[in-house]
Amino acid sequence: MASLSVKPGQRFTMPDWQNNSLLISADAEQQRYNSHHIRQEGRALRNETGNQARWDEHNTRTCLNDRITSVDRWREALARCLTDTDLEIDALTKVKEAAENALQAKNLCLDVAIECLTFRESRRNIDVVRDPLEEELLREVKVIEKTKKELQQRVDEAFKQLCLLKEARQQLNCDHRHKVETLELDRQCMSFNVTSGNISFKVKPTRIPDGTTALREWELNSQCNKDRAEAEMRASVDLRGAITLSIAQTNNELDAQRIATEFALRKRIRDVEGALSELRWQEQNTLEEIAEMEEEIRQLEEDLRKRTLDLKVAHTRLETRTYRPHVELCRDQAQYGLTDEVQQLEGTIRALQRKRTESQDALDALYRQLHRIQTDIGYKTNSLQLDNKCMDTRRKLVIPVEKFEPEVDAVNRTRN
């Protein structure tokens, strides 16, 4: 009898073979299900993270742009304040030099009066008398000494005020320089994108650097610098007026009254110019707000149109589903969803309509306010022209008509 060359292996039954095939198929289906589920989750995660990343980048870019606008606005304000401070320093320096020249001119008058008194000391006997002439000479010496003392005090005040102005200017210049550097850095940040060649990972990028200040502190610092410079300029303007008045007080009462009147008139011109500048600033801001409000109304109307179209679609779907036959006309989840969508859209449309009405009312109010501002600008422009004519007319008191020419006022830096 023939025999097998090898030992026969284990034999399985048909149910085992069939169970093995079913098990493999079930495992394959389970693995495909798991893979499909993971792919769907991955796709959802990719969509979510991609949208979140794009939104975060857009939000960051918007914040950077707003910050650049804010810093640039402060830079312009500080630059204007720096220019005004430089002009005020030059004006106060000229007035200080005028006071020093006036003080130097008083020395000759004092020398003459003292010399006259010295000569009169040579009188003899009964002629050595306290007569009215000597009293006038002594009074003249006292008036000159008082005038010199007052002028010297004004010169000292002008020197101190110049130091304060230069100190305020130094702070303004430092703040302005820092803002220029900050603008350059922020604009460089705005230019970065995923294709930039100089981007890389950094060590602890979210750390808070030493010396970091709060936004409110930053605003207060710039505002304090600007307010201090403006306060010093106002003090300097007042001081220049006082110095000019002190120099004029060496003349007669009529000249003193004329100088006081012109000082008040110049101050009034400064006030009108300041109010006019403020109104023009308000006009510009109001025009910008009107443009933004009109754009907002346009966006509201566009959104209202879109939501109306969405509501039409939802209404059409609901109406179409009413024609389902027999038992198919059931309150399923789609029906509830469409009903909720219609209610939500109707509420949204009502809210958009209310907001559009409120925006239109606000726009009308802005137009009314703009009309008031422009009317007031016309009034103040006319007043300023009249005040400048008054300044030109008053110059005829000290300048002959045939030699009269409008010139720049060294005290107020305005053209008469």
- Pick the most confident of 137-141, 238-242, 334-338: 238-242
Helix axes 253-321, 215-248, angle to 10 degrees: 160
pLDDT at 18 over 60: yes
pTM: 0.51
Q: Which of the two residues, 183 and 253, has the higher pLDDT score?
A: 183
What is the percentage of the chain residues whose pLDDT exceeds 90?
Answer: 24
Amino acid 229: pLDDT: 92
Q: How confident is the model at residue 95 (pLDDT cuts 50, 70, 90)?
A: very high
Amino acid 123: pLDDT: 47
pLDDT at 124 over 60: no
The domain limits of the chain are 36-190+218-270, 287-323+332-396
Question: In this predicted model, what pLDDT tens digit does every residue of 271-288 receive, in sequence order?
Answer: 667 778 888 888 899 899
Amino acid 168: pLDDT: 93
CATH of 36-190+218-270, one of 1.20.1260, 1.20.1740, 1.10.357, 2.60.420: 1.20.1260
Amino acid 399: pLDDT: 46
pLDDT at 405 over 80: no
pLDDT at 8 over 90: no
Q: What is the residue-averaged pLDDT of the chain? A: 79
Mean pLDDT lowest among 184-193, 308-317, 376-385: 376-385
pLDDT at 80 over 90: yes
Query: What is the SS3 assignment for the chain?
Result: CCCCCCCCCCCCCHHHHHHHHHHHHHHHHHHHHHHHHHHHHHHHHHHHHHHHHHHHHHHHHHHHHHHHHHHHHHHHHHHHHHHHHHHHHHHHHHHHHHHHHHHHHHHHHHHHHHHHHHHHCCCCHHHCCCCHHHHHHHHHHHHHHHHHHHHHHHHHHHHHHHHHHHHHHHHHHHHHHHHHHHHHHHHHHHHCCCCCCCCCCCCCCCCCCCCCCCHHHHHHHHHHHHHHHHHHHHHHHHHHHHHHHHHHCCCCHHHHHHHHHHHHHHHHHHHHHHHHHHHHHHHHHHHHHHHHHHHHHHHHHHHHHHHHHHHHHHHHHHHHHCCCCHHHCCCCHHHHHHHHHHHHHHHHHHHHHHHHHHHHHHHHHHHHHHHHHHHHHHHHHHHHHHHHHHHHHHHHHCCCHHHCCCCECCCCCCEC
Is 147 in contact with 106 (CB distance < 8 Å)? Answer: yes
Question: In this predicted model, what pLDDT tens digit does every residue of 347-403 receive, in sequence order?
Answer: 988 998 998 899 899 889 989 898 988 887 877 776 566 556 555 544 543 544 334
